[in-house]
Amino acid sequence: MSYSWKKGMTIEDQWNAWAANNPVEEMPDIDTDVLKETIIKDLTFVSAMTVQEYTLYQKYQEVKFRYS
């Protein structure tokens, strides 16, 4: 799954280049029920936080993802 962006490419050019290397037919389908449950679980978790806790949590997730 390689993709190279070149300066001056339009969105349409970028999409065509990406789609040529990533056939949509080979991508797995997303189970909407599982997705819905995951979103509800995540929103329930973060809705119980204060703004400060949520900001700290988001920054923690960002650092964890970037420097895993």
**Under a CB-based contact definition with an 8 Å cutoff, are residues 57 and 49 in contact?**
yes
Q: What is the pLDDT of residues 3-49, one digit of tens each?
A: 566 788 899 998 888 888 888 888 888 899 999 999 999 999 999 99
pLDDT at residue 36 in the model: 96
| Residue 36 tokens, joined | 């819905």
pLDDT at residue 4 in the model: 66
The span from the CA of 68 to the CA of 63, in Å, is 8
pLDDT at residue 22 in the model: 87
Residue 1, pLDDT above cutoff 80: no
